[in-house]
Amino acid sequence: MNDPLKSALQSLPHGPEFRFIDRLISLEPGRSGAGEYLVRGDEPFLRGHFPGEPFFPGVLLVEAAAQLAGTVAQSDPALPPMLGLKLTALRGVKILGSARPGEVIRLEARVIARLGNLIQSQASAWVGDRLVLQAELTLSGDLAG
């Protein structure tokens, strides 16, 4: 049986070393979704961020949120997926914390508007009950056809 949550993650163009969603935990296709990423501790970037006190970089929290927003947007059954969907603008980004090895980052994203090849979304990230990121993200890509 085809798992729609696993299938939706297939839309991510990123290779495994730059994918910051391990699994989707909910998906309302084209509208909203939630996912998780476990900070394993063996990620190469943690060796330098920071030696002896590793934590997940804030800019990668934004990337993880953009990956989830893109996954949500590309799952809309009423619209063909966009080619080359990318993060193109950030607004109201607040990095309020981070995650350390062994912690799970829970991401949430909601598509709030679409206009042609632009997708506007709101995203947040949590570690336990701590809000660590709030952001408005704009994604853009090439319309198929």
Question: Is 49 a catalytic site residue?
Answer: yes
Query: Among 19, 30, 31, 49, which one carries the catalytic annotation?
Result: 49
| Torsions phi, psi for 106 (to 5 deg) | -100, 120
Residue 67 vs residues 51, 52, 70, 93: alpha-carbon distances, Å: 27, 28, 5, 15
Q: Closest by alpha carbon to 9, among 39, 35, 32, 43?
A: 35
**Residues identified as active-site:** 49
